[in-house]
Amino acid sequence: MRQAYVGEIDKITPRAARLLGLIESEESLTQSASGMAEVLATSAYSSDVDSATTAASMQQMVREVMTSAGLSVSGSQILPGENTEGFENLNLDITVVGNINAVEEALSNLRMIRPLVLVESVTIKKLRATRTRAAQKAKPKKTDERMLSVRLRLLSMRLVG
């Protein structure tokens, strides 16, 4: 009988030590949890607002960044999102036109948006000069040889739950 109790005590001792360690680490764990909550707040959209409204807000922010950098937005579309462990992906496809300097500025400014907006893919094409007679007769414009059409697929996260 005594041997059974000794065996039981041997099984319980590591569990008790782990629990005591957790109790001693409570303050540190609480600080880490609140730090993670802050990181989530700046990295992902809250679940308080519905998906469509959140995606529209993201689209508006991105359009403002693009136009403030000197780009013309020729199209933008909110794409269907996917749910992944605790998050919903908000996808945006946007096409802009402008010179290389404006593209560089816009991409740099995208890094400043909070919650985070990630660039999933980029397609860059040099714009061709118009060769039609009507365009040649029109008032000549000084064109920038570095004019580009840029299509971006952007991703942001929204908390689910």
Q: For residue 67, what are its two tokens?
A: 């136009």
Q: Could you tell me if 27 and 78 lie in one domain?
A: no
Give residue 10's domain range. 2-43
Place of tokens 């996917």: 82
Q: Could you tell me if 146 and 93 lie in one domain?
A: yes
Q: Could you tell me if 9 and 67 lie in one domain?
A: no
CA 136/CA 129 separation, integer angstroms: 10
The residue length of the chain stands at 161
Q: Could you tell me if 63 and 134 lie in one domain?
A: yes
Say which residue, 36 or 64, is predicted with more confidence.
64
pLDDT tens, 71-120? 999 999 999 988 888 889 999 999 999 999 999 999 999 999 999 999 99
Q: How many CA atoms lie within 13 A of 46 on its CB side?
A: 5
Note the pTM of the prediction, 2 decimals.
Answer: 0.69
CATH number for the domain spanning 69: value is: 3.30.70.60
Say which residue, 152 or 47, is predicted with more confidence.
152
Q: Could you tell me if 37 and 66 lie in one domain?
A: no
pLDDT tens, 35-58? 776 766 678 888 888 989 999 999
Say which residue, 20 or 1, is predicted with more confidence.
20
Are 121 and 92 a contacting pair, CB within 8 Å?
no
Domain count, the chain: 2
Q: Could you tell me if 153 and 118 lie in one domain?
A: yes
Q: Could you tell me if 37 and 82 lie in one domain?
A: no
Q: Could you tell me if 143 and 81 lie in one domain?
A: yes
